[in-house]
Amino acid sequence: MSTTAVANVPQVADFVLSPELIQFRDFVRGYAQQHLGGAAAYDAEVKFPRDAVQAAAQLGLLRTTVAKEHGGSAMGNLASCVMLEEINAVCVSTGVTISVHNSLVNSLLGKWCNDAQKRRWFPKLVTGEWLGAYCLSEAFSGSDAAALRCEAKRQGDHYVMNGAKLWITTGSEAQLFVVFARTGPDRIKGISAFVVEKSWPGVGVGKKERKLGLRGSPTTEIVLENVVVPADCLVAQEGQGFTIALDTLDGGRLGIASQSLGIARAAIDLIKAHLAAQLDAKGRPTATQPDQWQLADLAADLDAYRFLVWRAAILRDQGVRCSTEAAMAKSCASRLANRAARAAVSILGPVGASGQNAAERLLRDARITEIYEGATDIQRLVIARGLLAPS
Ligand code: CAA
């Protein structure tokens, strides 16, 4: 190809959102300003942001990853990431509820369920009448997800499910659970995915965790005792559960990466406002150089990692596996969220540390982004495996 030919084609990299996505981002920003003012109270009172989530449902924010034929808006992963950054910049408890519902439940159902299953569950999920939860982790299988022990034994036209799932986001509020259970002895191929409804006999909400942050988002145990699960609630085929779980987590990790961007942005905004308010008699900023350097580094990383998130989301929207890219996005963005929140507390000093503004809450909220949906070291493992895999 000649140099002229290269000069005359549109460039590959497009570092701005389309006008439609900018409009959507501003729409979500408006929702956040209008409905998420209670973020500090949800945290202080350990209260689920029910009204905020219902307002989001009414505005169509719980259906962005669902196809139009099933009542969704089919906006996809990039739009969902843009939305989640806006929501999480104001309220992480609302943010994680919507992220799990859209990226771990609706996406999974849309990709892996048959038509009858979609017609059964989507009408309730897209309207927010039901919230969804994703039940993979157990007491002895967190990072090593394939070590799960919950079992589903086939008996004629149904399965009998027994086990307990731990650290389930939205556990006490969800009416629909995607549950991963063992249907055979093979470590990987012995895992299957099921949809379980909360109203079924034997499904119970166990202990609620007392948490450092994200206190408005209920994290609970889900107990499954002799639950009769009709065979038509099996998702895809027996033995496909682990693939479904990890494929879905590639999308979920983008939700948490976007949450991390939101937290980082909120922390950077606090630092900016604090430093900009410190002026000398001539109106010049008096911020120390080290504080300015911190602000500069954080702001540059925020922009860079947002592009990592968008890249992975665009790949996923194109149907390309993005495990490595999603892990890069999550590991970088979640570490940034922690760094930015720590810097905000340090730079704002006693005001930041004492809860007089959002800095202290952001610091507590940021911590989990490096833990759930795959801890940072798991993301690094996924990245390294991706880099070392034979091409
Ligand atoms: N997409 C599709 N298939 C995938 C996949 C992906 N992203 N990743 C792996 N697989 C497939 C592999 O190809 C492999 O299939 P074959 O055997 O046919 O080749 C199979 O799955 C097994 O893969 P691995 O050998 O990589 O499995 P592993 O046991 O070594 O585990 C792991 C890999 C990366 C450590 C995985 O266990 C993991 O991601 N752990 C973290 C778990 C996690 O993120 N939990 C989050 C809980 S949910 C949560 O936090 C939500 C919330 O509440 C907010």
> Residue 9: what pLDDT?
56
Distance from the alpha carbon of residue 125 to the mean position of ligand 1, in angstroms: 26
Taking only the tens place, the pLDDT of each residue in 122-179 is 999 999 999 999 999 999 999 999 999 999 999 999 999 999 999 999 999 999 999 9
> Residue 282: what pLDDT?
87
Distance from the alpha carbon of residue 242 to the mean position of ligand 1, in angstroms: 7
Query: Ligand 1 in contact with 382 (CB < 6 A)?
Result: yes
| CATH code for residues 242-388 | 1.20.140.10
Q: 133-239 with 242-388: one CATH topology?
A: no
Return the residue whose CA atom lies nearest to atom 49 of ligand 1.
373
Give the span between the Cα atoms of 200 and 158, in whole angstroms.
13
Tokens of 99: 């992220």
Residue 266 has pLDDT above 90, yes or no: yes
pTM: 0.96
Q: Return phi, psi of residue 152, to 5°.
A: -130, 110
Predicted confidence band at 13 (pLDDT cuts at 50, 70, 90)? low
If we measure between CA atoms, which residue out of 100, 92, 37, 27 comes closest to residue 60? Answer: 27
Query: Ligand 1 in contact with 243 (CB < 6 A)?
Result: yes
Query: Ligand 1 in contact with 242 (CB < 6 A)?
Result: yes
Return the residue whose CA atom lies nearest to atom 8 of ligand 1.
246
Beta-strand runs (E) in the chain: 132-135, 151-155, 158-169, 176-182, 191-197, 203-208, 219-230, 234-235
Domain coordinates in residue numbering, the chain: 19-130, 133-239, 242-388
Residue 390 has pLDDT above 70, yes or no: yes
Tokens of 162: 């027994």
Predicted confidence band at 283 (pLDDT cuts at 50, 70, 90)? confident
> Is residue 381 packed enough to be buried (19+ CB in 10 Å), middle (13-18) or exposed (0-12)?
middle
Return the residue whose CA atom lies nearest to atom 30 of ligand 1.
144
Predicted confidence band at 278 (pLDDT cuts at 50, 70, 90)? confident
Distance from the alpha carbon of residue 88 to the mean position of ligand 1, in angstroms: 26
**Catalytic positions, please?**
373
Q: Which helix (H) or strand (E) holds 305?
A: helix 289-317
Distance from the alpha carbon of residue 381 to the mean position of ligand 1, in angstroms: 11
In DSSP terms, which residues pair with 177 in a beta bridge? 133, 196
> Residue 7: what pLDDT?
59
Return the residue whose CA atom lies nearest to atom 32 of ligand 1.
144
Taking only the tens place, the pLDDT of each residue in 177-222 is 999 999 999 999 999 999 999 999 999 999 999 999 999 999 999 9
Return the residue whose CA atom lies nearest to atom 51 of ligand 1.
373
- With helix as H, strand as E and coil as C, how does 248-287 read? HHHHHHHHHHHHHHHHHHHHHHHHHHHHHCCECCCCCECC
Q: What's the mean pLDDT when you consider all of the chain?
A: 95
> Residue 138: what pLDDT?
98
The CATH fold assigned to 133-239 is: Butyryl-CoA Dehydrogenase, subunit A; domain 2 (2.40.110)
> Residue 2: what pLDDT?
61
Residues 6+ apart with CB under 8 A from 291: 271, 275, 347
Query: Ligand 1 in contact with 247 (CB < 6 A)?
Result: yes
Which atom of ligand 1 sits closest to the CA of residue 247? 1
> Residue 4: what pLDDT?
62
Residue 90 has pLDDT above 80, yes or no: yes
Return the percentage of the chain with pLDDT > 90, whole number: 90
Q: What is the arithmetic mean of pLDDT over 345-363?
A: 92
> Residue 294: what pLDDT?
97
> Residue 6: what pLDDT?
57
Distance from the alpha carbon of residue 51 to the mean position of ligand 1, in angstroms: 34
Cα end-to-end span (Å), the chain? 26
Query: Ligand 1 in contact with 298 (CB < 6 A)?
Result: no
Query: Ligand 1 in contact with 373 (CB < 6 A)?
Result: yes
User: In terms of CATH, what superfamily is 19-130?
Assistant: Acyl-CoA dehydrogenase/oxidase, N-terminal domain (1.10.540.10)
Tokens of 27: 């729409």
Q: How far is CA 88 from CA 257, 267, 324, 341, in A?
A: 10, 12, 24, 13
Query: Ligand 1 in contact with 86 (CB < 6 A)?
Result: no
